[in-house]
Amino acid sequence: MKSFEFRTRRVFPGRLFHVGHLCLGLFILGCADPTPSRAQEGSVPKVGSRIPDCTLIDPKEKKVRLLDLVGDRVLVLFFYPKDGTSGCTRQACGFRDVHAELLEAGARVVGVSSDSAQSHREFAAEYQLPFLLLSDPEGKVRDRFGIEPDLFGLVPGRVTYVIDRKGIVRHIYRSQLQVRRHVKEALETVRQLRSSK
């Protein structure tokens, strides 16, 4: 039996738009959780609030307490979807390229994804990343920060936080596509915090 289809020349010239595609899209939208998210409930870090006390895994597979990374320096904490993908590589290399400037301004850079410690070691080695990459294998820290997935839940969210020496969030930037903007916003905020001391 042939699939039912129709042509939409004005919107998609020369292409066939299947009803099945429409049904799939509606199914995905219908699967969205109607209950309020943690972010909507206001139980996650926002500008002016303190970061949660979380534990992650470093490249040597040792536990790292997030609050131990603040105190002596401002923390630039960026959550990204996956090691080695195009956007994440550009973002990580962007932080690499301004790493000396961030250090001079008194900041520490840390990246977080659900990748394994081994994946982080390989990613850092391949692109000569001078900063720490931490693993959040079950996504629990993402949940604590209220980071929602993008593209109908298919891609982990991309969010960068700038956290001062007291553990207070001073800036948040969210964008899946504007990967270089994460670096720009973080550097500008770190410089502003240094000048306001």
- Dump pLDDT digits (tens) for 62-91: 999 999 999 899 999 999 999 999 999 999
Question: Residues 141-154: what's their mean pLDDT?
Answer: 91
For residue 94, the enclosing domain spans 47-195
> Which amino acid is present at 13?
P
State whether 18 and 63 are in the same domain: no
Distance CA 87, CA 158 (A): 10
Residue labelled with tokens 């916003």:
185
Domains identified in the chain, total number = 2
Q: Which helix (H) or strand (E) holds 24?
A: helix 19-30
Distance CA 101, CA 81 (A): 25
State whether 106 and 13 are in the same domain: no
Q: Is the pLDDT of residue 16 over 70?
A: no
In a domain, 39, yes or no: no
In a domain, 85, yes or no: yes
State whether 28 and 94 are in the same domain: no
Strand 159-163 relative to strand 74-79, pairing: antiparallel
Tokens of 186: 């973080």
Percent with pLDDT over 90 in the chain: 73
In a domain, 77, yes or no: yes
Closest to 143 in 3D by CA, of 160, 162, 156? 156
- Dump pLDDT digits (tens) for 158-183: 999 999 999 999 999 999 999 999 99
Active site residues: 88
